[in-house]
Structure 1
Amino acid sequence: MTHLIERTTRAARQRLSSVLLAPAPQPVDDALRRFSRRWPATDLAAPPSGSDLRPIRGDYGTPLVGHVLDYIRFGTDFARERYDRYGPVTWMGAFGTRIATVAGPEATQLVLTNKDKAFSQAGWTFLIDQFFHRGLMLLDFDEHKMHRRIMQHAFTRDRLAGYTQQVGPCVRATVPTWSTTHPVRLYWLLKDLTLDIATRVFMGGRGDGVDSERINHAFVATVRAASSLVRYPLPGTRYRAGLRGRRVLERYFAHHLPAARAGNGEDLFSALCQATTPEGEQFSDDDVINHMIFLMMAAHDTSTITTTAAAYYLATHPHWQDRARQESLALGDDLPDIDALERLDTLDLVIKEALRLLAPVPLVMRKTVTDTEILGHYLPADTLVAVAPAINHFVPECWTDPDTFDPDRFAAHRREDQNHRFAWIPFGGGVHKCIGMHFGTLEVKAILHEMLRTHHWSVPDGYRVRWDNTSLPIPTDGLPVHLTRR
């Protein structure tokens, strides 16, 4: 059966790829109605008798596969269509099971603040534990609190300032070398650069050169494996490739760990090895390896996606590119430190708007540990829950013309993101809010700042990016841009 599923889904992905790369023959809304409204709505579970709770309505989708391929094709547009049709709490089929989906600021706040501790990180465990075992995002309750308290010592402002000083030379040595003679695939250039930064800042330069391509492939394999339809390591499957990638990463970090333990480096790897709370709590070797695999993936991939999205919107809105460039040029030729990067206000607005329009992590997974309710809907124990923060970024109750690129919506005189605490949450929310969000923003600003200093860039006339949602969103064609040297 699993061979049949893999052959079927591989063929479906190939057909889907041709559709993704071809010009859209009709508005996406028409395709969404055709693809996602063909299944009859049913209840997730019957509410307890006399509870006055309502059932969660939804549909499974295609047998076995569920709505996975629909999401891969349409991404957040698919999730928005279901939000409009079913409301903030619904369910769908995926990966052979039923998944409750939660969206909108109010419902999201209930899950992510988790005041009753009804939701655990076991939702992530279902998808990615084999590949990112015991990463910070997968830990729960008191254990998570303890690990985060130790890790926070690696993300103090002094540490961030040191990391930023290491980012600048790497960026300046790379961005000016990009070709201006023909269009480049910007996503892949940025992905190589962010891996170089991660190797420099996170690893202190350990493993430079020969290891980079192998480690990059390993990270790609582990991330893509999370959405594998076949959840068993059969030959030729993404799941098996992800497990092999995990083993490569474990060996890589284990090899370099003794030096990080013995030294007094300024890199993140050393910081995790040395981090100690006032109570004397420290990470074991296994803890350090697990956290490094997860943190390098998170920083490497999400920074690449965010920089790519921001660069795309700057290409399609050249007046914003010019405005941001004037601020970057005003800093002069010195490598920017943390204070200088924080003064780039226009880039702040652009990056926030890019994160709104394309959340690098569009879904956040949880699992119920007890029967609970959300906005009057009954949600039984042991149910996978997908929180969709990307939908919150488009609700008209919070955002003016939400499909329009408008960075000024984050300016002090508007601050639409303050219409609700959970209106804009690209870094998650609650106790699991991204611990590296400040460093990630500084890294993205450092790269865009150097691009603005050295180049103008544009996309082909009429070009509109399409995002591949197989795992985290990436441009299907690598984002072709033409760079012109200043």
Structure 2
Amino acid sequence: MVTLPGTVSRAAEALRERVPPLTALPLPHKVDERWLASRWPVKELATPPAGSGLKPVLGDEGPPVVGHMLEMMRFGPAFGLRRYELYGPVSWTAGFGRRIVALSGPEATQIALVNKDKAFSQEGWKFFIEKFFERGLMLMDFGEHHLHRRIMQEAFTRPRLAGYVGEMGPALREGVAGWGATERPRLYWALKQLTLDVATRVFMGMRSGADAARINRAFVSSVRAGTAFVRFPVPGGRWSAGLHGRKVLERYFGETLPAKRRSGGDDLFAALCQATTEDGDRFSDTDIVNHMIFLMMAAHDTTTITSSAMAYYLAKHPEWQERARAESLALGDDIPDIAAVEKLETLDLVMKEALRLVAPVPSLTRQTVKDTDVLGHYIPAGTLVGVSPTVNHFTPECWTNPFAFDPERFAEPRREDKSHRMAWMPFGGGAHKCIGLHFGGLEVKLLMHELLRAYRWSVPESYTARWDYVSLPVPADGLPVHLTRR
């Protein structure tokens, strides 16, 4: 290790003195001990202005060129928790060829997401996904974001949500019923295909077929490209596939849009075409294409991850599976409407706990547009910032026995999610909190309702899912389960 002079060296030694051994950390995945032993030199991100009274952000670059990118992808929450233990709520690391400041814990997170001084911009997302999800709602800032969100909200009113539930129900029942051909499916992949099929039906009014399969492939390619290590179009690479996928989606939505404008419909595509605020604001054709591409990505991946996590924890805890099934069976054989779905209280508790344990979006990206500070640490303009829901979801200050599966923590009177405004934040927070959170929750509960009605499922007692964080969290083995018809 290189010895640094002055305050950095003293701070580094102080940090190492208070870090517990790895065995003392109840991490969900073990971090590579060879990496922990590397002791990368601790450095300042930037020197605070003279007389400011601010502290520097401390961190380390990790291995040359790749930085800590591979550890971030491999270990997910364990990596973030270890950094939090080592450096506290504000630190920096390297990845994707950039220095990235990590904000962890409720207080640091709140400063960035509430963003009172408008120092944190969505520009950070552009580094990862702009090429594939250009001018999606999540990439917009300040006044423009507010206007587009107001228009888009018209597509997520309760009457619209009720209509989407009515469309999803039959598609989900039909899709789930078709899984009986194999007793040991890789459940993640079955759920992913089903949610893609439902998305093309509910979002675009498309039925299954060659066109739907082509659109689905384009979405998958675009999503995977965002975390590509080689970030230019090498033939056969993820970046190149993502750019091609984006062109396919633009062409499809652009060609289909005029008919949607004319004829309307109950799907989300039609809703965006018709959405108009009280002031008469509405989306241009280009806006609609951009928002549809983004919303399809945001909806189907997060739904797949959440339903997969729920299925895993219900397999590991059969008493919760039976409790949820009893509520579903009590609804009878009719496909439930929105009011019935909202009454599935056990599924609601399980969903919230699964979202806590496996946050579908493990990091929220920002970029500073001016010099600012977080908890007294100086962050200069132009800094890429990662806000970490995953660390917040495991902090013992907010959660009792945080690594345990315990859905009752969300029930009255415990409500541990109310321990801090940012204790539970799977949908983000502040002005950019996910606009489709109610839509997503309804889809996940309706999907799990159909799964509970049709099957029982289990995993071996010794089985533990390992989540791959290369892009968004995915069970590395596809989540094999033993599935039997009821």
Normalising by the residue count of structure 2, what TM-score does the alignment of the two structures yield? 0.93
Aligned equivalents of 2:182 and 2:389: distance in 1?
Answer: 40
**Structure 1 residue 33 displacement after superposition:** 6.6
Correspondence 1:322-401 to 2 at 5 A: 322-401=322-401
Aligned equivalents of 2:294 and 2:138: distance in 1?
Answer: 8
Q: Which amino acid aligns with 2:113?
A: L
SS in 1 for 2:112: helix
Whether the 8 Å CA contact 2:44–2:56 is kept in 1: the answer is yes
Residue in 1 that maps onto 2:260: 260
**Structure 1 residue 132 displacement after superposition:** 0.3
Residue in 1 that maps onto 2:269: 269
Aligned equivalents of 1:37 and 1:265: distance in 2?
Answer: 59
Q: How many residues align?
A: 460
Matched, 1:160 2:161: yes
Aligned equivalents of 2:271 and 2:95: distance in 1?
Answer: 39
Aligned equivalents of 1:220 and 1:391: distance in 2?
Answer: 27
Q: Which amino acid aligns with 1:174?
A: G
Provide, for residues 295-348 of structure 1, a one-character-per-residue CA deviation record: whole Å limited to 9, x for no partner: 011101000000000000000000000000000011111110110000000000
SS in 2 for 1:134: coil
Aligned equivalents of 1:105 and 1:326: distance in 2?
Answer: 36
SS in 2 for 1:385: strand
Whether the 8 Å CA contact 1:307–1:444 is kept in 2: the answer is yes
Q: Which amino acid aligns with 1:238?
A: R
Residue in 2 that maps onto 1:126: 127
Q: Which runs of 5+ in 1 are unaligned?
A: 1-25
Matched, 1:241 2:241: yes
Q: Which amino acid aligns with 1:413?
A: P
Residue in 2 that maps onto 1:116: 117
Whether the 8 Å CA contact 1:83–1:103 is kept in 2: the answer is yes
Correspondence 1:66-465 to 2 at 5 A: 66-179=67-180, 181-205=182-206, 208-465=208-465
Quick one: structure 1 residues 339 and 37, their matched pair in 2 at CA, closer, same or farther if it must change by over 3 Å? farther
Aligned equivalents of 2:462 and 2:181: distance in 1?
Answer: 21
Whether the 8 Å CA contact 1:101–1:387 is kept in 2: the answer is yes
**Structure 1 residue 460 displacement after superposition:** 2.9
Q: Which runs of 5+ in 2 are unaligned?
A: 1-26
Aligned equivalents of 2:187 and 2:203: distance in 1?
Answer: 23
**Structure 1 residue 237 displacement after superposition:** 2.1
Aligned equivalents of 1:158 and 1:36: distance in 2?
Answer: 57
Matched, 1:58 2:62: no
Aligned equivalents of 2:309 and 2:217: distance in 1?
Answer: 22
**Structure 1 residue 444 displacement after superposition:** 0.3
Q: Percent identity?
A: 63
**Structure 1 residue 259 displacement after superposition:** 1.4
Whether the 8 Å CA contact 1:35–1:70 is kept in 2: the answer is no
Quick one: structure 1 residues 153 and 232, their matched pair in 2 at CA, closer, same or farther if it must change by over 3 Å? same
Aligned equivalents of 2:37 and 2:204: distance in 1?
Answer: 45
Whether the 8 Å CA contact 1:99–1:385 is kept in 2: the answer is yes
Residue in 2 that maps onto 1:9: none
Aligned equivalents of 1:27 and 1:103: distance in 2?
Answer: 17
Bigger mean CA deviation after superposition, 341-350 or 215-224: 215-224
Bigger mean CA deviation after superposition, 246-255 or 305-314: 246-255
Whether the 8 Å CA contact 1:180–1:485 is kept in 2: the answer is no
Residue in 1 that maps onto 2:18: none
SS in 2 for 1:365: strand
Aligned equivalents of 2:216 and 2:408: distance in 1?
Answer: 36
Residue in 1 that maps onto 2:481: 481
**Structure 1 residue 180 displacement after superposition:** 5.7
Q: Which amino acid aligns with 1:425?
A: M
Aligned equivalents of 2:38 and 2:400: distance in 1?
Answer: 28
**Structure 1 residue 235 displacement after superposition:** 2.0
Provide, for residues 43-76 of structure 1, a one-character-per-residue CA deviation record: whole Å limited to 9, x for no partner: 1001111111000010111211111111111011
Aligned equivalents of 2:301 and 2:252: distance in 1?
Answer: 18
Bigger mean CA deviation after superposition, 399-408 or 467-476: 467-476
SS in 2 for 1:179: helix
Matched, 1:49 2:54: no
**Structure 1 residue 238 displacement after superposition:** 1.3
Q: Which amino acid aligns with 1:339?
A: A
**Structure 1 residue 464 displacement after superposition:** 0.9
Whether the 8 Å CA contact 2:28–2:403 is kept in 1: the answer is no
Provide, for residues 59-115 of structure 1, a one-character-per-residue CA deviation record: whole Å limited to 9, x for no partner: 111211111111111011111100111001000101111011101101000000000
**Structure 1 residue 32 displacement after superposition:** 5.1
**Structure 1 residue 221 displacement after superposition:** 1.2
Whether the 8 Å CA contact 1:135–1:290 is kept in 2: the answer is yes
SS in 1 for 2:222: helix
**Structure 1 residue 360 displacement after superposition:** 0.2
Q: Which amino acid aligns with 1:254?
A: G
Whether the 8 Å CA contact 2:132–2:222 is kept in 1: the answer is yes
Provide, for residues 2-49 of structure 1, a one-character-per-residue CA deviation record: whole Å limited to 9, x for no partner: xxxxxxxxxxxxxxxxxxxxxxxx994462573475312111001111
Aligned equivalents of 2:155 and 2:196: distance in 1?
Answer: 19
Aligned equivalents of 2:400 and 2:212: distance in 1?
Answer: 43
Provide, for residues 148-171 of structure 1, a one-character-per-residue CA deviation record: whole Å limited to 9, x for no partner: 000000000110011001110001
Aligned equivalents of 1:27 and 1:481: distance in 2?
Answer: 20
Aligned equivalents of 1:182 and 1:212: distance in 2?
Answer: 27
Bigger mean CA deviation after superposition, 114-123 or 248-257: 248-257
Provide, for residues 103-145 of structure 1, a one-character-per-residue CA deviation record: whole Å limited to 9, x for no partner: 1101000000000000110000111100000000000000000
Provide, for residues 213-247 of structure 1, a one-character-per-residue CA deviation record: whole Å limited to 9, x for no partner: 22222112111111112221122321111111111
What is the RMSD of the two structures over their aligned residues, measured on CA atoms? 1.4
Whether the 8 Å CA contact 1:190–1:307 is kept in 2: the answer is yes
SS in 2 for 1:178: helix
Whether the 8 Å CA contact 2:31–2:78 is kept in 1: the answer is no
Aligned equivalents of 1:183 and 1:430: distance in 2?
Answer: 42
Quick one: structure 1 residues 181 and 283, their matched pair in 2 at CA, closer, same or farther if it must change by over 3 Å? closer
Aligned equivalents of 1:200 and 1:152: distance in 2?
Answer: 20
Quick one: structure 1 residues 32 and 432, their matched pair in 2 at CA, closer, same or farther if it must change by over 3 Å? farther
Quick one: structure 1 residues 453 and 75, their matched pair in 2 at CA, closer, same or farther if it must change by over 3 Å? same
